[in-house]
Amino acid sequence: ASLDRYEIAGILARHLKRPVPPDPGTITGLLRDEIREKIRCAKIGITGANAVCAGEGSLVLVHNEGNILKVATQTEKHIIITSREKIYPNLDEAINMVKVLTFYGTGHITTSYIDVISGPSKTADVEGILVPGIHGPREVILIVVERPEMVSEPEVYHCIGCGSCLTICPTYCAIGNRFGRESYLGGVGVAKASIIDPMEEVFYCTTCNLCRENCPVEIPVKDILLKQRREYVKRYNLVQGHEKLIQNIRETGRIFKDLPVQVRKEKKARMVYFKGCMSTFRREEIAQAAEDLLDKTGADYTLIDERCCGSPILKTGSGIEELIDYNISRIEESGAETILFTCPGCLDTFKNHYPEKYDLLHISEYLKEEVDAGKIQLKEVGETVTYHKPCHLRTDAPEEIIRQIQGTIYKEIKEGCCGAGGGVRSAYPEISKVIAEERLKVTKETGAETILSACPFCKDNLKEGEQPIKDLTEYLNEMIE
């Protein structure tokens, strides 16, 4: 996504047709001289604007180097090109935006330059005659570009351009400007560029939602991209890699085209353990550990002849009504009031797309209650562990349990994505692999002996690292006395 000093020096050397040392100070000086000479010779200066203040008729420019100010003041005519989303009611609101922009974008309270322009300068001479343009351009022209497409997705235009989302977006950190368009970078950039005609890059998003959590104005980029995926599929069809997956679900009700499983227990019970496709067919050890724990705690639970929850279909641009109807009918037959999950993706899908008539719990939440009640006694271990928190799991129960294990040294890490979500692994395995490798670098730095997680997809995508990875259910099942 960025160039190092050697690459920049090479580009500058080709432009200037002479050697340029890879020294940041020298590079900055050469660029400054080049740019300022261009500005000195220019008659017209063209800039954008960070804000247009409707009440005062003023413009706000935010910058670091000072070149924008020279363009705005050292030319005969200053043309400002902006768009409707840059218009604020008054200067107070605009300055509030600037404070947020600079803090989220740079970590500083303010930036180097904040300029307020209110038209050509006006100076009265000794005779009291008003003379415009003495200290700057004699003419200032504001052009507001209309964007009728804003009506369909107005929230993407709340973006103030701070770049905070880019620093934490797993896809952007993995592939840089390939996830975006020109000056519109990252997920919000793809969302903007896809309003009129959705591009394939809408499927690069892992749906981790970290961008919204770091956005000062909380733009729901994930939700917008999911909507644009549906539009893409309507216009062009499924992307390669998703076709087989969706076909499997349509034909068998599951993402993997394996033989139907034999349900060990399907009876009336207070709780249903919804295993999910990945724990049923690929990470069976997680489902087995979960059932062992439920049996050991005396849980009144049952299994059902479940179908895929529908999450992959939602992530790839289709509807899931048939799957919902089928799963609900089987749950209703069990008489259960609570549904337990080991897959955060299944849990998230039930919370957001299924009828709101059940208590929905990740199994870690159930186990936390059992540990707190003293129903689970855990062995004391002398192991150093770290915990990778799944993006779709909105509970701290796993970490709270880990901290309660006697003798365990817990090395905490910042939140991050494993790279498997959003259908990225099935359609773009090369992107998913890079994201996983970056995440494994973070876990390795902790020096932990074992990585713990609470999602079968996370475990599957991070299994290639040097550190062994276990699901929390496996870890706890091994430690129960």
- Residue boundaries of the structural domains of the chain: 42-146, 154-236, 265-367, 370-479
Name the pLDDT band for 248 (thresholds 50, 70, 90): confident
- Give the span between the Cα atoms of 46 and 190, in whole angstroms: 26
CATH of domain 42-146: 3.40.50.10420
pLDDT in tens, 128-146: 666 665 677 888 999 998 8
Residue type, 339: I
Tokens of residue 194, six digits: 């896809």
pLDDT at 1: 47
Q: Is the pLDDT of residue 111 over 80?
A: no
3-state secondary structure of 180: strand
pLDDT at 244: 86
Using an 8 Å Cβ cutoff, are 230 and 318 in contact?
Answer: yes
Give the relative orientation of helices 5-16 and 24-41 as an angle to the nearest 10 degrees.
40
CATH number of the domain at 265-367, out of 1.10.3720.10, 1.20.1050.140, 1.10.4100.10, 2.60.120.330? 1.20.1050.140
pTM of the complete model: 0.81
CATH of domain 370-479: 3.40.50.1860
Q: Which class would CATH give 154-236? A: mainly alpha
Q: Is the pLDDT of residue 326 over 90?
A: yes
- Give the span between the Cα atoms of 100 and 113, in whole angstroms: 15
pLDDT in tens, 65-78: 778 888 888 888 99
Tally of CB atoms within 10 A around 268: 10
Mean of pLDDT values over 361-385: 90
CATH fold match for the domains 42-146 and 370-479: yes
